[in-house]
């Protein structure tokens, strides 16, 4: 019997078609894959803590300890923080009429005088009617049937979201239970000639990601505390919520500082008016926070684990935002850290190659 052979061109074409079909299937299942991907990422960051605790107890006990400790911490944080945040939200809501009055009496006339354009005055009743009209036009609240459809759709969305919230901890548990066995399976799937190189690259990527995650979390917590304490000492009523939000948003470089200082200055204008002393103190508080972040928190907590210059940091964030929106901004720096590790290994392989060492020529 003659052996059937496939032309190399058609073999590559079939492989490419199968790969495209597989990627398209993944795209269609993105809503299903998303909770698995999120659970895997969370399990990845929780696994080192589980490994340390598993030295003192069985692994399943370590996982349950991490779960219970995380739940207690979230409950304690919520009990302590929720009343303060609720008070700040009430202050924000109560300050809206004052903000509208400030615009009508101060900002609007000043802008009209210096721009030559007559600006319309704001009215809280008009704003309320505009919001209601928008809801009626876009969500069909005018009839009972439309309201019922919207309520059912919202209920289904809430149920799906609640289901995901319940599903993610379960998926994390199963990922953590079989973590080492899964790693061994992936390691055994690598060709033996490349096992050492692949494991070294994975180890370097793991160290870079873990160092970045731990350092960035501490930077966010400390920076949020620094902003909040300074704004509270200045007397800004919304200082706590603005400071905490700026600290959380600092996960994206320069986003926390930019949003925080704008929100704080606007809140300061509503509360103190054009009092340059208070506005200067608010501006100075964020400048102090930025200096501490740049020269104390970032070098000592993050160090040179990522090793990206400020230009590459800005480029990474803008590129991530351009490609994937807000999610791209969040993952820009971790992805850049991994790409830097891969580039260093590729450059080292290039330097060790025969072409670089002039042992052969094109």
Asked if pLDDT for residue 66 goes beyond 80, the answer is: yes
The tokens for 170 are 């379960």
pLDDT digits (tens, 9 = 90+) for 192-239: 888 888 888 888 888 888 888 888 888 888 998 999 899 889 888 778
More confident: 104 or 127? 104
Burial class (CB in 10 A: 0-12, 13-18, 19+), 85: middle
The mean-pLDDT minimum among 12-26, 88-102, 171-185, 332-346 falls in 88-102
pLDDT, average across residues 245-258: 81
For 14-154, list the strands marked E by DSSP: none
A 10 A CB-CB count for 230 gives 20
Predicted pLDDT at 134: 56
Longest dimension (CA), the chain: 95
Give percent of the chain with pLDDT exceeding 70: 72
pLDDT, average across residues 267-285: 83
Predicted pLDDT at 159: 47
278 close to 234: Cβ distance less than 8 angstroms: yes
pLDDT, average across residues 285-290: 89
Taking all residues of the chain, what is their mean pLDDT, rounded to a whole number?
A: 77
Banded pLDDT at 120 (limits 50, 70, 90) = low
pLDDT digits (tens, 9 = 90+) for 5-57: 666 777 778 888 888 998 888 888 877 787 888 888 888 888 888 888 888 88
Predicted pLDDT at 21: 92
CA separation for the pair 12, 139 (Å, rounded): 50
Predicted pLDDT at 74: 82
CA separation for the pair 332, 329 (Å, rounded): 5
């Amino acid at each position: 019997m003659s052996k059937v052979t496939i032309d190399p061109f058609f073999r590559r074409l079939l492989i490419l078609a199968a790969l495209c079909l597989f990627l398209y299937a993944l795209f269609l299942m993105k809503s299903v894959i998303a909770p698995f991907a999120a659970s895997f990422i969370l399990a990845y960051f929780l696994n080192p803590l589980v490994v340390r605790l598993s030295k003192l107890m069985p692994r399943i006990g370590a996982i349950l300890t991490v779960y219970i400790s995380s739940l207690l911490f979230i409950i304690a944080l919520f009990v302590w923080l929720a009343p303060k945040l609720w008070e700040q939200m009430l202050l924000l809501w109560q300050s809206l009429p004052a903000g509208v009055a400030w615009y009508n009496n101060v900002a609007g006339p000043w802008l009209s005088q210096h721009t030559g354009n007559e600006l319309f005055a704001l009215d809280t009743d008009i704003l309320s009617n505009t919001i209601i009209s928008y809801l009626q036009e876009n969500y069909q609240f005018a009839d009972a049937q439309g309201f019922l459809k919207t309520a059912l759709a919202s209920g289904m969305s809430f149920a799906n979201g609640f289901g995901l919230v319940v599903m993610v901890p379960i998926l994390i548990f199963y990922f953590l239970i079989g973590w080492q066995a899964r790693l061994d399976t992936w390691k055994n799937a690598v060709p033996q000639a490349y096992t050492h190189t692949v494991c070294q690259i994975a180890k370097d990527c793991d160290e870079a990601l873990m160092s970045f995650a731990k350092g960035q979390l501490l930077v966010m917590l400390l920076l949020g505390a620094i902003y909040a304490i300074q704004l509270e000492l200045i007397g800004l009523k919304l200082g706590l919520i603005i400071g905490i939000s700026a600290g959380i948003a600092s996960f994206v470089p320069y986003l926390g500082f930019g949003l925080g200082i704008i929100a704080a200055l606007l809140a300061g204008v509503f509360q103190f008016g054009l009092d340059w002393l208070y506005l200067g103190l608010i501006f100075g508080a964020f400048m102090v926070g930025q200096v501490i972040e740049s020269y104390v928190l970032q070098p000592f907590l993050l160090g040179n684990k990522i090793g990206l210059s400020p230009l590459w940091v800005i480029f990474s964030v803008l590129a991530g935002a351009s490609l994937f929106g807000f999610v791209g901004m969040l993952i820009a720096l971790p992805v850049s850290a991994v790409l830097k590790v891969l580039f260093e290994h590729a450059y080292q392989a290039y330097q060790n190659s025969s072409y670089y060492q002039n042992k052969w020529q094109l």
